[in-house]
Amino acid sequence: ETRIISEDATIAAAIGSATIDGLHAGGCLSCAKHFPGHGGTNEDSHEVTPVVDKTLAELADYDLLPFMSAISSGVDAIMVAHILYPALDAVEIATMSEPIITGLLREEMGFDGLVISDDFRMEGLTARYDVGDAAVRFILAGGDIVMCGAQVDKQQAIVEALNAAAADGRLTQER
């Protein structure tokens, strides 16, 4: 795999934490991805919606270790994956999941930084959701920043859906 630090979670955690420290020393923000872990699948969420069939205990013993280390190191942001983790949420991908973003990441793991979505242009999301509705659902699930690359139609749909949800009260001023 060419897109990971290491297949060994403890090595990934150590290198990730050192990277965070180095970024901070240089005056930069840091972001860990793809929460709660992409290691359980070889599928590419740019093309499909991957499924990771691991229990919470299995995730905690491997996939979550680098994220716990990153949180301890003061990581500024965490990007959430467009992946389905049936043991954590049988219906929603992580990006749409309150049990994963608010329950696991924020409450259980204690992360209080920025939660960023993976790109809303990706098939892992667009094959299952309308991007506007998904943007609202991501924010309601506990996310903070919707990422969408250069596709004006999707960006416009996201802005319109978020504005509509704010206007009709689905998204509160606090959220």
Q: Which two tokens stand for residue 30?
A: 């840091």
For residues 5-22, b (16+ Cβ closer than 10 Å) or e, as one string?
eeeebeebbeebbebbee
* CB of 141 closer than 8 Å to CB of 97: yes
The reply to whether 118 belongs to the active site is yes
Q: What is the spatial distance between Cα 102 and Cα 97, in angstroms, rounded to a whole number?
A: 8
9 SS3 class:
helix
Return the residue matching tokens 């205990």: 57
Q: Which of 8, 46, 53, 61 is catalytic?
A: 46
Closest by CA to 44, choosing from 119, 141, 115, is 119
Residue 172's φ and ψ, nearest 5 degrees, are -80, 165
Q: What is the spatial distance between Cα 87 and Cα 82, in angstroms, rounded to a whole number?
A: 15
Q: Which of 63, 89, 118, 119 is catalytic?
A: 118
Catalytic residue IDs: 46, 118
